[in-house]
Amino acid sequence: MRSWLLRTAVRRSLVDVRHVTPVRPGAARGPLADLYRQVEQEFGVLAPPVVLHSPEPTALAACWAMLRESLVAGGRVDRAAKEAVAAAVSRSNTCPYCVEVHGSALRALAGAAEAAAVTGGRADEVTDPVVRDLTRWAGRAHLRDAADDRPFPPAHAPEIVGVVVTFHYINRMVNVFLTDSPLPAFAPPTVRAWLLKLLRATVRRTVALVHPPGAAAHRLPAAARPADLDWAQGDEPLADAFARAYAAIDRAGARALDAPVRAVVEAELDRWDGQPTGLSRSWTQPLVAVLPEADRPAARLALLAALASYQVDDTLIADVRAGGLDDADLVALVAWASLAAARRIGARAWQDARAGHGVEAGHDARDGYDAQEGHDARGRHGVRAGHDVHAGLGVYPAAVDAPAGARCPVGPAAGADDRAAAPAGSGCPVAPPARPDGRTGVGGPDGRAVTPADRPPVPPAAG
């Protein structure tokens, strides 16, 4: 009964998806209905950050493949450690929606004090040394010259870097297409607290189940491994899923954006050092000026989705829609730009770590990360080593492929102590400014900043 109530509440929150109309569960058929069932069974709820992709089915399958194989599927890294990474990345992107979800999941697995410290940006207060080090590293992994040592052995890189990539992607999608909370806007505080309690119980139940790796990638065509997936070597199911997801979203992006537009975005991402772009959107103007007038709204949206997703507002979406883009095109455009940024962050974090920041010599691939000392990768978390990704999974169904930062993206989320510590000259506002539509960010089609106003603090794992 309780699980049904939580699922119902989350399904009702699909009305909060912005700018596109997702496929409702009752209308899903065939491969889409099958994917929805798997998400709800293994993740515990039909997560709106996944469902918002449904107008573009290949992007939907790609998002779920990355999320499942990095966070949900069993492997070498304890789920609580991965939830801490997800929460820390979400905080660095000031994505309160994902902070609330994954802070609650961390609370379910590691306790209220640990979750509050992670979601509040107080890594020094985290008592578990593994979670503490991962939290510090994950919150800075997007920076080009981050000095933090990599606090995990190479054998754990596929799952940990995979979570980093997945949540830099999902945070951007959520900032564009969802509101600031995973719970229905109409829910009063007492109901919200009760729903979060149900969410924690659901997390504990689903984590106790075995979710073997490799059970989502089959929905996407096979793909070659790109060079920026070096961090995934040694984990065949995960590497296969990410290669397929990267290729699928690349194809979707090519349908939605012309090559010159993608080239502008890629060039700017190659220059990006991970620092925030500042209060104004005016930095996009000289970049898009080289493009034909008709391509500029889409180019501006792609740049902002990649580098300042909090600045996307209704006016910009309307400008892009005027060019003829439908729901599927809009999801594909934002997905491509978001993943282009996330891919670079993952590759950069791995390259920086290999340049001399790694773990101490002799560190065992299992030390400190498994649920118990000597835990085997085939234990209660499911089979990883030697898993046959094709066994029993069927083949790619062609129907799935049919339709053709940070609110200050780095640095502190809202909170007086953290804002006061923001580095001078970082371009990070003292508090994220209010947008004309009532959300936070910067408004105005001309890129002019509006009057700053404090955003509500990113909530700790409440409930």
How many domains is the chain built from?
1
Beta partners for residue 440, in sequence order: 434
| Rounded Cα gap, residues 351 and 211, in angstroms | 30
The pLDDT score that the predictor gives to residue 410 is 33
Domain that holds residue 41: 2-217+229-248
Q: Are 459 and 413 in contact (CB under 8 A)?
A: no
Residues with a catalytic annotation lie at: 98
CA 106 from chain center: how many Å? Answer: 16
Separation of alpha carbons 133 and 153, rounded Å = 13
Q: What's the pLDDT score for residue 421?
A: 34
23 assigned to some structural domain:
yes
Look at residue 267 in the predicted model and tell me its pLDDT: 98
Instruction: Please check whether residue 241 lies inside any domain of the structure.
Output: yes
Structure tokens at 433: 């400014």
Q: Is residue 6 part of a domain?
A: yes
Nearest to 255 by CA among 321, 326, 319, 309: 326
Alpha-carbon separation of residue 65 from 35, 109, 140, 239, 381 (angstroms): 10, 23, 25, 11, 17
Q: What are phi and psi of 257, to 5 degrees?
A: -130, 135
The residue written with tokens 């991965």 in the block is: 82
Q: Does residue 173 fall inside a structural domain? A: yes
- CA distances 361 to 141, 152, 356, Å, are 22, 12, 12
Residue 367 inside a domain? The answer is: no
Q: Which residues pair with 434 in a beta bridge?
A: 440
What type of residue sits at position 269?
A: L
**Tokens (6 digits) for 54:** 């449904």
Place of tokens 């054998």: 155
**CA 25 – CA 324 distance, rounded (Å):** 27
Q: pLDDT tens per residue, the chain (463 residues)?
A: 455 555 565 566 678 899 999 999 999 999 999 999 999 999 988 999 999 999 999 999 999 999 999 999 999 999 999 999 999 999 999 899 999 999 999 999 999 999 999 999 999 999 999 999 999 999 999 998 775 578 999 999 999 999 999 999 999 999 999 998 887 666 778 877 877 787 788 788 888 888 999 999 999 999 999 999 999 999 999 999 999 999 999 999 999 999 999 999 999 999 999 999 988 999 999 999 999 999 999 999 999 999 999 899 999 999 999 999 999 999 999 999 999 999 999 998 887 656 544 433 333 333 333 333 333 332 323 333 333 322 222 223 333 333 333 333 333 333 333 323 333 333 333 333 333 333 333 333 333 333 233 333 444 444 3
Q: What is the pLDDT of residue 311?
A: 92
Give the pLDDT confidence score for residue 30 in this predicted structure.
96
- Determine the Cα–Cα distance for residues 69 and 76; give it in Å rounded to an integer: 12
Residue 75: inside a domain, yes or no?
Answer: yes
**Is 296 contained in some domain?**
no
In which region does residue 355 sit, left (phi positive, over 0), alpha (psi from -120 to 50) or beta (all else)? Answer: alpha
Is 194 within the bounds of a domain? yes
